[in-house]
Amino acid sequence: MEKMIKKRIDQVKEKGHQRLTVLLIPHGFDKSFHFQISIFTIFFLVGLLFAIVGIAVLGIVRYNNTRIQINALASVYGKYFDEYIEYSEKLGDIRDDFASLNENLQEVHSLIDGESDELLKLPDESDSEDLAATELKIEEAVDKDLMLGRSYLSEIYGYRAVRVSMEKNKALVDSVFNFLDSRYGIMNSLPFGEPLLSYNLTSYYGMRRSPTFGYMEFHDGVDLANVPGTDIAATGDGRVYRAIYSNRGYGNHIVIAHANGYYSLYGHCTSLKVREGEYVHKGQRIATVGATGNVTGPHLHYEVWIGESNRTDPMDYMKVGFGQY
Question: Is the pLDDT reported for residue 285 higher than 80?
Answer: yes
**Banded model confidence at residue 124, pLDDT cuts 50, 70, 90:** low
Given the DSSP bridges, would you call strands 238-244 and 216-219 parallel, antiparallel or unpaired? unpaired
For 196-261, list the strands marked E by DSSP.
200-203, 206-209, 216-219, 222-225, 231-233, 238-244, 252-257
Question: Is the pLDDT reported for residue 157 higher than 80?
Answer: no
**Banded model confidence at residue 152, pLDDT cuts 50, 70, 90:** very low
**Banded model confidence at residue 320, pLDDT cuts 50, 70, 90:** confident
Distances 172 to 103, 113, 132, 145 between C-alpha atoms, Å: 11, 12, 20, 37
Total-model pTM: 0.51
**Banded model confidence at residue 198, pLDDT cuts 50, 70, 90:** very high
Which distant-in-sequence residues (6+ apart) come within 8 Å of 302 by Cβ?
195, 221, 222, 223, 224, 264, 265, 266, 267, 314
Tell me what pLDDT residue 302 has: 97
**Distance between CA atoms of residues 214 and 304, nearest Å:** 25
The residue among 304, 244, 305, 308 whose CA lies nearest residue 254 is: 244
Tell me what pLDDT residue 14 has: 61
% of the chain beyond a pLDDT of 70:
57
Largest CA distance in the chain: 152
Instruction: Share the mean pLDDT of the chain.
Output: 77
Helix ranges restricted to H, the chain: 2-16, 39-111, 116-120, 125-142, 154-168, 170-188, 314-318
Task: Please give the DSSP secondary-structure letter assigned to residue 308.
Answer: T
**Banded model confidence at residue 20, pLDDT cuts 50, 70, 90:** low
The residue among 127, 132, 125, 126 whose CA lies nearest residue 151 is: 132
Could you state, in order of their start, the residue ranges of all structural domains in the chain?
A: 1-111, 123-189, 200-319
Distances 101 to 2, 89, 125, 167, 172 between C-alpha atoms, Å: 92, 19, 15, 14, 12
Asked if residue 255 lies in contact with residue 263, where contact means CB atoms within 8 angstroms, the answer is: yes
pLDDT 10s digits, 218-259: 889 999 999 999 999 999 999 999 999 999 999 999 999 999
pLDDT 10s digits, 42-88: 677 777 788 888 888 888 888 887 777 666 655 655 555 566 656 66
Beta bridge pairs of residue 233: 285
Tell me what pLDDT residue 271 has: 94
Mean pLDDT of 26-55: 71
If one counts every other C-beta atom within 10 angstroms of the C-beta of residue 74, the result is: 11
If one counts every other C-beta atom within 10 angstroms of the C-beta of residue 168, the result is: 15
Q: By mean pLDDT, which of 7-11, 88-92, 209-213, 276-280 is the weakest? A: 7-11
Given the DSSP bridges, would you call strands 279-280 and 285-289 parallel, antiparallel or unpaired? unpaired
Tell me what pLDDT residue 142 has: 62
The residue among 154, 225, 222, 152 whose CA lies nearest residue 191 is: 222
% of the chain beyond a pLDDT of 90:
30
Tell me what pLDDT residue 151 has: 47
User: Does the domain made of 200-319 have the CATH classification 2.60.40.10?
Assistant: no
Question: Is the pLDDT reported for residue 105 higher than 60?
Answer: yes
Tell me what pLDDT residue 290 has: 95
The residue among 158, 186, 162, 190 whose CA lies nearest residue 89 is: 158
**Distance between CA atoms of residues 34 and 23, nearest Å:** 4
Sign of CA dihedral 111, 113, 114, 115: positive
